[in-house]
Amino acid sequence: MNWNYVSLKDAIKTIENNTKPFDSAEVCDIDSAYGRILADTVRAEVNVPPWHRSAVDGYAVRSADLKGRKKVTLELQGRIHAGEFPGMRVCKGQCIDIATGAPLPEGADAVVMLEYADVHADKVTVPGGTAKWENISTKGLDIVEGRVVAKKGVRLTAGIIGSLASQGIARIPVMARPEVAVIPGGDEIAAHGSEAEKAQIYDVNSHVVAAIVSDAGGRAVVHDPVRDSARDVADALEWGAEKDICVFVSGSSVGERDLTAAAIASRGKLLFHGVRIRPGRPTMFGIVDGKPVFGLPGYPVSSFVGAHLLLRRCIMRMIGERISGGNVIMRQYSGSERAAREFMSIIPVRIEGKRAYSVFKESGAITSMAAASGIVMLPAGAGIRNGQTVEIHLL
């Protein structure tokens, strides 16, 4: 099997062009919605706040009574607690004791903070000059009825969930999680819970990939480690192609045990085999029975990079998440780097204050990613000098 290299940009484009949007939605409880993708745009059915309300504990007043005066003594008419709607009205020369969050009574258009008032029986002396609407949250200040609260395709954060909760919503429409078959392979792989034989290592990659799948919005279904035989790989592909996405982990290098590429090509179409990035170079992608199929490298860091940059993108495309440039920050790089002439370098870095430090050991060292805060994507042939400001894509 020959290499069929593509750039990272072209790999992403190929994946997105060959990933069909997932049209399956479900409804979940609001407290289970964090991190899910909103399936429908939600518009506000109520204003937030629903009425003018006091932003502080204090005294509801008419700003006209305080205009141009140093001090004003007003008649106290009563008290309004949060959670009760006022039946009183503030008339000229009057005020009402009001709690934070309580609806503003008719006639009032400002609130004087409690600590600025001097109270004697039913008389309240306050400083003059309080402006109209001061210390008041006006009706619809936060959310206006009819406006969009959250758009379809957005990932639900705590803040967005809070905005939805302000509308009294208990159940939220979200995209269903696509099933992602994760298939570890290689005679050298020992499953967790079993005793590794001589020359075997415990499976790392399937667990890393499953975590990335979950974080991206999918649901990983992990296969038992597959032995290095054409029959076993073909059977695993048969099983994986029944899921929404299929991912082979390892078995993507060119050599006598390269069986994944051949299996994909025999049942479907291998669209690329090799991406011009390091680590992650042997990543492959194809289509089998209309389903996206990935082959990720066996080295843990390479597998992580392929899953993070490409598999994640496939899942996001499938569930309709609005794709942005990601969370990027700028830091000064400690050390110097030079990317190979034909390959983009993916450098895992640790961030400490204003500096970023490479934590890359080798493609086989998963602790490179365990210690990483983000990655630097250094274009082919480019270099970084010590102290240069670089873009870091946070993990």
pLDDT of residue 20: 92
Q: What is the pLDDT of residues 212-232, one digit of tens each?
A: 999 999 999 999 888 888 999
Percent of all residues in the chain with a pLDDT value above 90, rounded to a whole number: 80
Residue 333 to residue 388: CA distance in whole angstroms = 6
Mean pLDDT of the 274-284 span: 95
pLDDT band at 256 (very low <50, low <70, confident <90, very high): very low
Residue 178 to residue 26: CA distance in whole angstroms = 12
The residue with greater pLDDT, 30 or 300, is 30
Mean pLDDT of the 343-347 span: 96
pLDDT of residue 326: 75
Both tokens of 322, joined, read: 């609005």
Mean pLDDT of the 38-49 span: 96
pLDDT of residue 196: 66
Question: What DSSP element (H or E) covers 72?
Answer: strand 71-80
* CA distance readout (Å), 355 to 54, 327, 346, 361, 395: 45, 17, 17, 19, 16
pLDDT of residue 334: 96
Flag whether pLDDT at 132 surpasses 80.
Answer: yes
For residue 110, what are the β-bridge partners?
61
Closest to 371 measured CA to CA, from 385, 352, 354, 387: 352
Domains of the chain in start order, with CATH, are: 8-24+176-319 (3.40.980.10), 26-48+142-175 (3.90.105.10), 53-137 (2.170.190.11), 328-394 (2.40.340.10)
Residue 306 to residue 297: CA distance in whole angstroms = 8
Tell me the pTM: 0.84
pLDDT of residue 176: 95
pLDDT of residue 112: 97
Q: What is the pLDDT of residues 237-248, one digit of tens each?
A: 999 999 999 999
The residue with greater pLDDT, 197 or 262, is 262
Q: What is the DSSP string of 308-350?
A: IIIIHHHHHHHHTPPP----EEEEEEES-EE--TTSEEEEEEE
What is the dihedral angle through the alpha carbons of 13, 333, 212, 218, rounded to the nearest 10 degrees?
-50
Flag whether pLDDT at 195 surpasses 80.
Answer: no
pLDDT of residue 1: 55
Flag whether pLDDT at 55 surpasses 90.
Answer: yes
Closest to 297 measured CA to CA, from 309, 276, 280, 311: 280
Q: What is the mean pLDDT of the chain?
A: 92
Q: Are strands 337-338 and 328-334 parallel, antiparallel or unpaired?
A: unpaired
Total residues found in the chain within this entry: 395
CB of 216 within 8 A of CB of 323? no
Residue 275 to residue 220: CA distance in whole angstroms = 24
Flag whether pLDDT at 251 surpasses 60.
Answer: no
CB half-sphere exposure, 192, CA atoms < 13 A: 8
Mean pLDDT of the 249-257 span: 57
Mean pLDDT of the 125-143 span: 95
pLDDT of residue 118: 95
Measured in whole angstroms, the distance separating CA 163 from the mean position of its chain's CA atoms is 17
Q: What DSSP designation does 31 have?
A: G
Closest to 260 measured CA to CA, from 290, 289, 287, 284: 284
Q: Are strands 389-394 and 328-334 parallel, antiparallel or unpaired?
A: antiparallel
Mean pLDDT of the 91-111 span: 97
